Amino acid sequence: MAKGFYISKNMGLAGLLMGAVAVVIIIALAAVYDKEKTKNQNKPVDGVAMLTTASPTTSSTLSTPKDPWEHYRLPDSLSPVSYNITLWPRLVVNASTGLYIFTGQSAVVFQCKKDTDLIVIHCNKLNLTLLNGHHARLTGLDGATAPTVKTSWLQVKTEYLVIQLNGKLTAGKSYRLSTDFQGELADDLKGFYRSEYTEDGGKKVVATSQMQATFARKAFPCFDEPAMKAVFHITLIHQRGTVALSNGRDVDGTEVTMTRFEPTKRMSTYLLAFIVSDFDHITGSIENNNVRIWARRKAIAEGHGNYALNVTGPMLNFFERYYNASYPLSKSDQIALPDFNAGAMENWGLITYRETALLYDPAISSVGNKERVLTVVAHELAHMWFGNLVTLRWWNDLWLNEGFASYVEYLGADYAEPTWNIKEQTILNDVHKVFAVDALASSHPLSRKEEEVNQPDEISEMFNTISYSKVLYVLEHLLQQGSLCSRTSPTSYLNEFAFNNTVYSDLWDHLQKAVLTTPGMSLPHTVHDIMNRWILQMGFPVVTIDTATGHITQKHFLLDPDSVVDRPSPYNYTWLVPIKWMKGGVEREQHWLLQETGISNATGSEWVLANLNVSGYYRVNYDMDNWERLLNQLTTDHTVIPLINRAQIVDDAFNLIIYYQVPSVLILYITRYLSQERDYIPWESALRNLNYYILMFDRGQAYGVLQGYLKMQITPLFEYFRTITVDWTRVPTGHNDQYNQINAISFACRMGVERCRVLTSDWFREWMLNPDHNPIHPNLKTTVYCNAIAAGGVAEWDFAWQMFKNATVATEAAKLRSSLACTKVPWLLNRYLDYSLDPAKIRKQDCTSTINYIAGNVVGMPLAWDFIRARWNYIYTEYGGGSFSFSNLINGVTRRFSTEFELKQLKQFKEDNARVGFGSGTLALEQAIERTTANIKWVAENQEPVMKWLANECT
Ligand SMILES: *[C@@H]1O[C@H](CO)[C@@H](O)[C@H](O)[C@H]1NC(C)=O
Ligand SMILES: *[C@@H]1O[C@H](CO)[C@@H](O)[C@H](O)[C@H]1NC(C)=O
Ligand SMILES: *[C@@H]1O[C@H](CO)[C@@H](O)[C@H](O)[C@H]1NC(C)=O
Ligand SMILES: *[C@@H]1O[C@H](CO)[C@@H](O)[C@H](O)[C@H]1NC(C)=O
Ligand SMILES: [Zn+2]
């Protein structure tokens, strides 16, 4: 899947939530930046909505169960070959049951690998029709005789249909197992489900699907593991006038009530898709005539699918060249769904998206919305080969799928929009985000043992930030070494394993071959040695360079160095670190660091800067003299230091300073140079980090001086944009300048720049007076809405709510929805909290992020906390099960916690609801406690010195 998920979107909330994520310990929350950009905040786009927390819980079952049906993994005695599936979703409610339902028939042909008298096949929440008194009918093929069924039952906990036979199935023979069933087409966003929307004044229903990771079994009985690949013959029955779509091309035309599809390639169940809707589509030009974009009729008619269509053709061509393998299927459909849990899902040949990740309306969407479409589409298309053609053997190696797709995503996006410098943003969207979670003692290695990941909950926990982003970076620094052509290696890997499954060492084998056969390419160690250190142990190093002695060392970086790492590492937490560096502005020879070593020419009076362009996944610390030299360089002429490194220096300083003996006010020295900085990337890095200071201080006495100081730093940037936009009448041309303009306005307003308040309130008022004509540029909507609502009262709020209800474009609705959380009026916030649990007002998929928006507001935070505590039982039951959003909810609401009292409340909450449970939020709750403890310590240590420094600076 793609990255991204609820929180995502434009957190806007200019003032309040502002650049969220941020620093330190604390912000394992990741994701969540603000602004219009909506962009990659949400990394995980794909299938499963993503978790932002670090480590998955271990555990699984405690004692080894005896019977095969008590194991969460299938026995290896049977292997599917092909399925015939017919599904008939009813898009009107069933009068007798009051439910939306689907009926279906499925036949699976499987081969017996080992003699057995037992059939175990996944099946969840399906009512099976009894055939001759049993749940399924078994037939022998090619002369094999099928034993009769002794007994059959549904094993609910492990989600199996179990069939015991009176005799044995014989190894080498094939059999067919047939079932008839009925299931509910629920609005739970899992398996075969329904999505609803309103068009032309009437309610419309779409039947659609989300199989990853373990929901195919909720659509039909199947061997639901990624390595159980098979060919699928799919038929959908549907009303005349509706369109049926699936992975393959339809073979019977569309004007029939039964649509049959060509057999799929050999593929995994989690990549299947079935959709019946009355959507419309657009088709690419002649050379791309198998590329289609589907959406609500109105969205298509208004051209909202055009941008995705424009970029898909070129990107597919790019990927064909990059992988040196043609697109494996006969067509490529992409469809935007009104209700969808993740950002997008790479179903083979029929990719599903949230509307905000596929549809783009130039008149309404911001630059961030557009970039999000670009990067999500690139990510999903990259999966058509990496992930779909060649698939992980089991979910423990999810990072292999996701990390590589996240890496290639940037190549594809950069190809389609070469002027955007998309690559520069990886530092913000990937590196800093992963650093934040991977620096916790509770983080986890990228790669987990296969036997540690079994149950659906454990699988869904694999979809976390680290999976998506860490390997991307680590791989990149490897692939960029010398001239290792990143093109040859995946090609031979893809060729060898097409339509098959792999484990990560298969990829290393192929990369190593490429290293050996690339002329002029040499590495000091094997690919396995280098890569395994990054994936088999959690975390990453901080490299310390002492410019007095030239000594260079590495150490496992922990946000809280006092925290206890109880996870042993086969490599003792040392890495093979590529050190690219410069001295006095000149690049020097690269080193590989493992043991402590000396670089003699790193001494002297000129500044030294390591991790050039942040090509490696590590932090850098220096002796104090070198820090000062760097600071001097920044304040005298910051442009001498490469752009990406300016962002990195800021981020390293903020994070190191906290505990690594660097005075806590050094960071504040660093922020001094910001008044001269005009580039987006360093500013964004600073804002995210400063956000932690703001979160920690915005309820206390230090806030007044902090705000005063930051107002001084941001004002020049605000004025700079006022000038270059000719008094806000234009939009800057550069892609990143557009983002920076948004930052300038949202931060200036937040820090109380009066001109900013007037600007945003006036724009909003103008819109209120003439609702049919919105004068606010799409880029600036989130921040303008938010600040005007924050400065306004019930009139502004009600107007925005009305506009939200009328919004027909998902991105516009998302901006309003986040901005509604910006009001400072408590009763409006409480009313909004109530709305968030009313599906008629706020879609279920948006419930968590809405509550989190409110919690991001300093006034809303305690209200949201009371709210979820009072309703935990209800929320958990209503929105629970395998839903992934609990961790985000807990993270979001507790982000500011920094007092003993809050810690006590948190522990009480854990105790009070132990019986109800926390589902996928279990780990997040533990982390919230860890984070709160760290925050308390941080505030105790830093409030004083920070206030003193600020008081000094501001006088
Ligand atoms: C699938 O259905 C087709 C057409 O109905 C039939 O010819 C074929 O034998 C079936 N295959 C299996 C595995 O049931
Ligand atoms: C499945 O059977 C149960 C028990 O009879 C019933 O409550 C449920 O509504 C059925 N589901 C569907 C989709 O028919
Ligand atoms: C799509 O491409 C066409 C042809 O190049 C162009 O006119 C149109 O503006 C593009 N649409 C979008 C939304 O980028
Ligand atoms: C899949 O890969 C495995 C391991 O390399 C190999 O033994 C098997 O034959 C392959 N299967 C197919 C269908 O290519
Ligand atoms: Zn993905």
- Please give the share of the chain, as a percent, with pLDDT higher than 90: 56
| Predicted local distance difference test score (pLDDT) of residue 215 | 95
> Which bound ligand lies closest to the C-alpha atom of 496?
4
Of all protein residues, the one whose alpha carbon is nearest to atom 3 of ligand 1 is 84
| Predicted local distance difference test score (pLDDT) of residue 467 | 62
Name, in order, each residue with C-beta under 8 angstroms of 290's C-beta and a sequence gap of 6 or more: 249, 284, 330, 331, 332
Of all protein residues, the one whose alpha carbon is nearest to atom 5 of ligand 2 is 127
Tell me: the pLDDT tens digits for 459-515?
Answer: 877 776 666 677 766 666 666 654 444 445 678 899 999 999 999 999 889 888 888
Q: Is residue 71 packed enough to be buried (19+ CB in 10 Å), middle (13-18) or exposed (0-12)?
A: middle
Cα–Cα distance, 877 to 910 (Å, whole number)? 16
Q: Is residue 586 packed enough to be buried (19+ CB in 10 Å), middle (13-18) or exposed (0-12)?
A: exposed
954: pLDDT strictly greater than 80: no
Tell me: the pLDDT tens digits for 756-805?
Answer: 999 999 999 999 999 999 999 999 999 999 999 999 999 999 999 999 99
Average pLDDT over residues 300-311: 96
Of all protein residues, the one whose alpha carbon is nearest to atom 5 of ligand 3 is 310
Q: What's 564's DSSP letter?
A: -
| Predicted local distance difference test score (pLDDT) of residue 767 | 97
Ligand 1 surroundings by CB, under 6 angstroms: 82, 84, 107, 109, 176, 233
Q: How far is the CA of 817 from the centre of ligand 3 (A)?
A: 29
Q: What is the residue-wise DSSP string for 854-875?
A: HHHSTTHHHHHHHHHHHHHHHH
208, 352 Cβ separation under 8 angstroms = yes
**Confidence tier at 659 by pLDDT (50, 70, 90):** low
Of the two residues 796 and 19, the one the predictor is more confident about is: 796
3: pLDDT strictly greater than 50: no
Task: Find out whether the beta carbon of 182 lies less than 6 Å from any atom of ligand 2.
Answer: yes
| Predicted local distance difference test score (pLDDT) of residue 19 | 25
* Cα 480 off chain centre by: 25
| Predicted local distance difference test score (pLDDT) of residue 643 | 92
Q: How far is the CA of 125 from the centre of ligand 2 (A)?
A: 9
- Helix, strand, coil percent values for the chain (each to nearest 5): 45, 20, 35
Task: Find out whether the beta carbon of 362 lies less than 6 Å from any atom of ligand 3.
Answer: yes
Task: Find out whether the beta carbon of 310 lies less than 6 Å from any atom of ligand 3.
Answer: yes
375, 413 Cβ separation under 8 angstroms = yes
| Predicted local distance difference test score (pLDDT) of residue 90 | 93
Angstrom CA distances, 60 to 17, 72, 75, 163, 924, stand at 37, 9, 17, 25, 18
Mean pLDDT of the chain: 85
Instruction: Retrieve residue 146's tokens.
Output: 């099928």
**Confidence tier at 654 by pLDDT (50, 70, 90):** confident
Cis link prior to 213 (omega < 30° from 0)?
yes
Angstrom CA distances, 337 to 51, 193, 219, 273, stand at 21, 12, 18, 13
> Which bound ligand lies closest to the C-alpha atom of 154?
2
Ligand 1 atom nearest 84 alpha carbon: 1
568: pLDDT strictly greater than 50: yes
Tell me: the pLDDT tens digits for 187-205?
Answer: 888 999 999 998 888 899 9
Tell me: the pLDDT tens digits for 849-900?
Answer: 999 999 999 999 999 999 999 998 888 887 765 555 788 888 889 999 999 9
Please state which of the ranges 123-127, 664-668, 679-683, 840-844 shows the lowest mean pLDDT: 664-668
Q: How far is the CA of 391 from the centre of ligand 4 (A)?
A: 12
Cα–Cα distance, 738 to 757 (Å, whole number)? 20
155: pLDDT strictly greater than 60: yes
| Predicted local distance difference test score (pLDDT) of residue 663 | 59
Average pLDDT over residues 504-529: 84
50: pLDDT strictly greater than 60: no
pTM listed for this prediction: 0.82
Active site residue 380: yes
| Predicted local distance difference test score (pLDDT) of residue 377 | 97
| Predicted local distance difference test score (pLDDT) of residue 48 | 45
| Predicted local distance difference test score (pLDDT) of residue 305 | 96
| Predicted local distance difference test score (pLDDT) of residue 881 | 53
Whose tokens are 């079952």? That residue is 61
Cα–Cα distance, 586 to 118 (Å, whole number)? 69
Residue list for the binding site: 379, 383, 402
Residue 596: count other Cβ atoms within 10 Å of its Cβ.
10
822: pLDDT strictly greater than 70: yes
| Predicted local distance difference test score (pLDDT) of residue 578 | 87
Average pLDDT over residues 259-282: 95
Of all protein residues, the one whose alpha carbon is nearest to atom 9 of ligand 1 is 84
Task: Find out whether the beta carbon of 101 lies less than 6 Å from any atom of ligand 2.
Answer: yes
* Residue 168: its H or E element: strand 160-169
Q: Which amino acid is at 482?
A: G
Classified as helix, coil or strand, 9 is coil
Among candidate residues 346, 371, 380, 476, the one labeled active-site is: 380
- Please give the share of the chain, as a percent, with pLDDT higher than 70: 88
Q: Which amino acid is at 644?
A: I
- Domain definitions of the chain by residue range: 1-57+68-278
* Residue 555: its H or E element: strand 551-556
Whose tokens are 């194991």? That residue is 71
Most confident of 113-127, 237-251, 356-370: 113-127
Residue list for the binding site for Zn(2+): 379, 383, 402
| Predicted local distance difference test score (pLDDT) of residue 2 | 53
CATH superfamily of 1-57+68-278: tricorn interacting facor f3 domain (2.60.40.1730)
Whose tokens are 């300093």? That residue is 858
